[in-house]
Amino acid sequence: MNRARTIKRKIRRTGGKLLPFWKHHTPVFDALLLLVAAVAALIVANTALGVPLESFWTRSVQFGRGLLHSDISVERFINDLLMALFFLVVGIEVKEEIIDGDLSNIRLAALPLIAALGGMVVPILLYLATTHLLAAGSVPLKGWGIPMATDIVFATLILDLAGQRVPQSLKVFLTALAVADDLGAMVVILFIGGHDIRLIWLGVALLLTAALIVCNRLRVKRLAPYLVLGAGLLAGCYLAGVHPTIAGVIVAFALPADLHCRRSYIERLLSVHEKGKPDTATDEPRFSPTLATAPAKVVSGSPLRRAGGFFAPVASYIILPLFAFVNAGVIVRGGSVADMLHSPVVPAIALGLMVGKPLGVWLFSRIALLLRVAHLPQGLDGRQLFAAALLAGIGFTMALFIAHLSLGAGPALEAAKLTIMAASVAMGLIGYLYIRRLS
C-alpha cells in the first residue's frame, strides 16, 4: 500500500515538473523538434529501414460495412485525421487574431493581409507559367497551391536566432502575414481536398456543423459538446469524401471566445477602480486592475482558449513531428535525385518559394503603402519589410501538406518534397544572413 502511494507521489511530482514545459513550449523548440523529425525521416528513408517503414505507412486497414465501410492507411490516418487537430489549432489562432489580435483592426491588418495576398498570387502565377512552359500542362495543375504558404514555426525560429537585431514590430507583422497565409491555405484545401463525394455523409457533416453553430449561439461554455460534435464532424467529413482538416477549422470557428464577457468584466473593474468601492454585481473588493492582465484572465476561461491551451502542445510535440517524419522521407541515393531534377515541379516550386513568395509579399506591400491603403507599423522600415518577405519563402509544413494532397503518390510528389525542403532551408539561411547584415 505504501509502495503504491510512493509511486503515485512520484508520478504527480514528475507531472508537476513536466506540465510547465508541456504547456509553455517555445517556437524555437517547436522548430528544432520539427527539424529533427525531418532529418530523421531523410536518414531512415535512405537506409535498410526505408522500405519496410514505407510499407508500414501505406498498409491499409478496412473497417465498417455498407455506408460505414472505408479503409485507411497509417499514412492517411496521420495526414488526414491527426492533421485535423493541427488545423484546429491553426483555426483557433486565426480566430484569436481576427477577433482580438493583429487582424482585428483593419488599419493594422491591411498591410499583412495585402502582403499575404501578394505572397499567394505571384507564386501561383509563377508555378502555372513554369509548368506550362516545361511540361505543356502534363503536370497536375493542383500543385499550384504548394508555394503559397508560409511556415511560421521556422520563420519564428530565424527571428529568435537573430535576437535583438529583430524589432518586435517585425515579429508581429510576420505572424499576421502567416495567419493570413493559413487562411488562404484553408481555402485551397477546401477546393482540392474533396474526392468521390458521398451525399449522405455530406448531409450528416452539415447537420453536425449546424449543431456546432447552435452551441455557439447558445453560448455553451463546456468544451465537451464541441469536442464530441467535432469528432462526429471529423468522421462525417472523412466518410463524405471531404478532407477532414476542414472539420478542425469549423470546430475552431464554432468555439466561443466570450469577448462580450471580457468587455463587461473590464468595465466592472474600471468602475471599481474609479469609485473605490466593491462592485454590486460581483461584490468584488477594492483593487487596482490593469488592462494588460484583465483580458487574459477572462479569455483564458473561454472554450476557445481552453481548447487552444490543450491541443497546441499536442500539435507541436506529437502531430507535427510525426507528420514531418512520415512525409519528409525522400530517397536521395543512386540516380534518384537526377531523375527528380527532371520533373517540372522542381523549378516551379523553387521559383514559387524563392522568387514568387518574397517578390509577391514585398511588391504588394510597397504598392499598398504607395497607394496609402495601408500603413507601415511603427518600428518597421522598408529593409525589415524585405526581410519578412524573404522569411515568407519558408513553406515547409503547409507546403508539404498541400503537395501530398494535390500531387498524390508518385515521382512528382517525391520531387516536390525534396524541392520544398531545399528551398525552405535556402530561404531560412538567406533571411537570417540578411537580418544579420541589417544590424
> At 69, which CATH number?
1.20.1530.10
Task: Please report whether residue 407 resides in a domain.
Answer: yes
**Cβ distance 332 to 418 under 8 Å?**
yes
**Cβ distance 406 to 142 under 8 Å?**
yes
> What is the model's pLDDT at position 8?
52
* Residue with grid cell 471529423, as numbered in its chain: 234
Alpha carbon 121 to its chain centroid, in Å, reads 19
Alpha carbon 290 to its chain centroid, in Å, reads 32
Kindly report the pTM of this predicted structure: 0.75
Task: Please report whether residue 282 resides in a domain.
Answer: no
Task: Please report whether residue 274 resides in a domain.
Answer: no
C-alpha cell at 21: 514545459
> What is the model's pLDDT at position 361?
92
Task: Please report whether residue 8 resides in a domain.
Answer: no
- What's the rounded Cα separation, in Å, for the pair 348 and 188? 18
Query: Residue 71: what are its φ and ψ, rounded to 5°?
Result: -135, 150
User: CA separation (Å) from 39 to 165, 415, 418, 432?
Assistant: 28, 17, 12, 20
> What is the model's pLDDT at position 136?
61
> Which segments of the chain have a pLDDT < 70?
1-28, 61-71, 102, 136-141, 163-165, 193-196, 258-301, 332-340, 439
> What is the model's pLDDT at position 357?
92
Domain extent at residue 192? 25-258+301-438
> What is the model's pLDDT at position 207?
93
Q: Is 371 exposed, middle or buried (0-12, 13-18, 19+ CB in 10 A)?
A: exposed
**Cβ distance 44 to 194 under 8 Å?**
no
- What's the rounded Cα separation, in Å, for the pair 80 and 426? 28
* Residue with grid cell 505504501, as numbered in its chain: 2
Task: Please report whether residue 289 resides in a domain.
Answer: no
**Cβ distance 205 to 190 under 8 Å?**
no
Count how many domains the chain has: 1
Task: Please report whether residue 156 resides in a domain.
Answer: yes
